[in-house]
């Protein structure tokens, strides 16, 4: 299965549209539904897709519930499998080979006037150095036809780059746009230890799609998914340049930073390719950034008590606020489950615990649970001087923040009938 296999429900826009502010404007006009843009003014013969990969759409395509999707992602962490290698000539993206890369001819969008310019936001970097491989999301500002400036957050790829630079080395990479969504979910997951995200994706593909994930080795030695729409080969250089400002997932403006420059040497693409032009701060962004954190949180909470579902809320931009659906077995389980969620996702600012009869995806139901089952004086956890998120503009100047946890579960050992909604 490929990215384009998830586009059946998308409306096709045949009128010409510019990558400079036009894609997002039309998306807003159409109600942020799945869209394919057939006529990109700056990219003849290429298309772009937005608003495709939401949690509900993925569950529908893979015929699973959100809980089953979360369980699959948890299982993949514990049981990674090797993907299936195919010959590079059999890859679906080998229609065009260019050693004169010009990113300005690709439908890379400029969504907000406040952004520095055109950004790849849904593309992933696959890096291999010193015997390790890493797949991860990093927004990339198109600096000129063959270079980008990537916001490399301080995780495993950052460590890899720092190690390489200390040795005077560039890091060989592939940048992949629009692979199978299982690859995107795996790339968005984060782990304390170095885990090969391609092996996570391979497990997810077997479990959710029912077939093996095919990969191939590109000419620069990087292993890439064979069904991607675009693949660029290049290196993370020894140079830095300004990146940002950029409207991030919270809808607020992230700042300028000096970040690594990526140089591209070769481009591959499918025939009549479809660029994944993710709109930052939209539902798709919240899904791809927040959804992979859900199983990590669920796994941590499960060590305290049964956790049935986790929702990173839209109001929290899919990142800063979490609702956990649990079955407490001890009086302290609500409190301990909230603390486990905080520990599992350190960027989160609010955690709300609800019972199994409350849909964590329904903000009205969650608020109802708070108003009928939560007592602020005894069911609230306030944490001070905690590590915050750079995406939260209210954080203190040193990056710390206060956090709040709310236990909105029915107390154990009481008559539950007064707390239950009559239907």
Active site residues: 248
Asked whether the beta carbons of 107 and 43 are under 8 A apart, the reply is yes
Provide the CB-side half-sphere exposure for 316 (13 A, CA): 24
What is the DSSP secondary structure assignment for residue 419, as one 8-state letter? G
* CB neighbour list of residue 100: distance below 8 Å, 6 or more residues apart: none
Alpha helices in 291-357 (DSSP H): 293-302, 333-344
If we measure between CA atoms, which residue out of 185, 126, 176, 178 comes closest to residue 156?
A: 126
Residue 96's φ and ψ, nearest 5 degrees, are -130, 135
Place of tokens 């009938």: 417
Contact call for residues 285 and 121 (beta carbons, < 8 A): yes
Tokens of 40: 């990109």
Q: Residue 354 has which token pair?
A: 């609800």
Contacts of 168 (CB under 8 A, 6+ apart): 238
Alpha helices in 207-346 (DSSP H): 283-290, 293-302, 333-344
- Six token digits for residue 94: 């080998």
């Amino acid at each position: 299965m490929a990215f384009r296999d998830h586009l059946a429900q998308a409306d096709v826009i045949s009128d010409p549209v510019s990558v400079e502010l036009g894609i997002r404007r039309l998306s807003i006009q159409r109600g942020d539904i799945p869209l394919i843009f057939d006529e990109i003014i700056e990219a003849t013969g290429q298309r772009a897709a937005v608003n495709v990969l939401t949690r509900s759409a993925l569950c529908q395509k893979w015929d699973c519930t959100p809980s089953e999707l979360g369980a699959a992602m948890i299982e993949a962490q514990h049981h990674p499998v090797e993907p299936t290698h195919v010959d590079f000539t059999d890859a679906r993206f080998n229609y065009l080979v260019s050693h004169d890369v010009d990113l300005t001819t690709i439908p890379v969008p400029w969504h907000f006037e406040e952004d520095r310019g055109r950004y790849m936001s849904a593309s992933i970097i696959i890096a291999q150095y010193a015997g390790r491989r890493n797949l991860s999301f990093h927004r990339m500002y198109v600096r000129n036809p063959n270079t980008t400036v990537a916001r490399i957050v301080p995780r495993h790829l950052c460590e890899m780059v720092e190690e390489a630079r200390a040795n005077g080395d560039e890091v060989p990479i592939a940048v992949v746009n629009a692979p199978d969504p299982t690859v995107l979910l795996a790339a968005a997951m984060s782990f304390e230890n170095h885990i090969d995200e391609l092996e996570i994706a391979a497990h997810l593909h077997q479990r959710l799609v029912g077939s093996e994930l095919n990969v191939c080795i590109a000419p620069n030695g990087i292993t890439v998914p064979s069904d991607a729409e675009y693949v660029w080969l290049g290196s993370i250089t020894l140079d830095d340049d300004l990146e940002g400002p950029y409207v991030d997932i919270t809808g607020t403006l992230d700042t300028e930073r000096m970040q690594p420059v990526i140089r591209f040497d070769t481009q591959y693409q499918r025939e009549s390719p479809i660029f994944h032009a993710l709109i930052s701060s939209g539902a798709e962004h919240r899904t791809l950034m927040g959804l992979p954190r859900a199983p990590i949180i669920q796994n941590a909470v499960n060590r305290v008590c049964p956790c049935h579902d986790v929702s990173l809320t839209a109001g929290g931009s899919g990142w800063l606020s979490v609702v956990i659906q649990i079955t407490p077995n001890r009086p302290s389980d609500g409190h301990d489950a909230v603390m486990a969620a905080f520990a599992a996702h350190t960027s989160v600012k609010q955690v709300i615990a609800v019972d199994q009869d409350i849909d964590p995806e329904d903000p009205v139901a969650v608020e109802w649970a708070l108003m009928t089952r939560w007592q602020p004086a005894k069911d609230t956890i306030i944490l001070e001087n905690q590590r915050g998120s750079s995406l939260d503009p209210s954080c203190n100047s040193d990056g710390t923040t206060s956090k709040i946890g709310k236990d909105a579960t029915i107390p154990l050992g009481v008559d539950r009938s007064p707390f239950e909604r009559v239907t």
